[in-house]
Structure 1
Amino acid sequence: MSSLDPVPYAEAPRAIRAALEPLRGLRLRTVTRAAEMLTLGFGELEMVGKRQVAQYALNLQAPWRLDHLATGTVTGRSDVWEPLELPAPDGWHWDEGPNLRDHLLGQLFPLNEAKRRFENQSDDFIVREIEATAAGDLTIRFAGPYEFRVLPQSTRQEAWRLLRPGDFSPHFVFEAGRAGYEQ
């Protein structure tokens, strides 16, 4: 676990909403993954060193899902461990693909193969509203008919963190039932 300066449990929803408030009005710009961790990039793309990154990154290690309000779940965390086709081909491994999650995300966002990320240009994915609970649950509502939900389930592990790539200011982290800025 990291060294957090946690807020009191009863104050967590307000603190989480305040930390995530800069995302309101920003476009979900990029979707990437490192192993099973998903990273959502919000805002304009900027150069940080030699890499082009979004202004904000929300790293997710907790269960999550992307819902379409009219048709239901589009994809979720567990889809990364599912082969695109059943039965799985001999020797199939989720990280070498193709896996169901990456395929379903590719239906919404074009894949930039050179940068190994999905890139969004749609106004449907501009952050409209953010809800949070003391347990670290997040609901990010977009301008279009989509919601992104995060549902932490661990009493020991980091669930999610918000950071500004290239900025060395403290990250806002939710882990082990505690929310706060990493020290």
Structure 2
Amino acid sequence: MSATLRRTALVLFVVAGAPVAAATAATAAPAATDEPTTLQVEGTQTQVSPELYESRGGLLGDFWILSFDPLYESDSLVIGTGSERFVGCVDVDLDEACGAGEPSGELSFDYVQWATFDPSTGALIEGNCTHPITGGTDGFQGARGLVTMHDVVENGEVLTTYEGTVVLDAVPAAAPAARGTAPQALAAGAPASSRGHC
């Protein structure tokens, strides 16, 4: 099976995914301080378009895939790296709204993704990705942390869950700003909808 067919299978698998209801949590609201504040987040994501995922739970907003560069592809495994941007808030009180007292803005991420496939059918078995936070703007200025995501197939649908840590004010305000990137087409000529989030 060609690598392109496997990428296409991964995208189709994620595109077929439906919204998932899951328990989510975020830690208590951060105090107004320049000291680092650690927030635990978890939730679900639903694909809206090839590059856009709606994030629910502790991270409430839009997750944009900016780039994807495949590093390795075989009949049973695809590994790649890229960059992403989250626009939204940490929904500390889990009321499904970004409130005035909740940290909000843009978070920048790098990521590494790996997905396994059934080599005889090309069907996605499982996907995982790790997303270190590389910077942020507005209420996320100086943020760092790590978010992990997991894709599984249940009843023919892809379910994407995430959990992680967002550390506010991890980098002093005088530190250089995070790089900003606009959404763009994905690399390697693969249709974005064939990769899935993880």
Structure with higher strand content:
2
Does the pair score TM above 0.5?
no
TM-score, normalisation: structure 2:
0.27
TM-score, normalisation: structure 1:
0.29
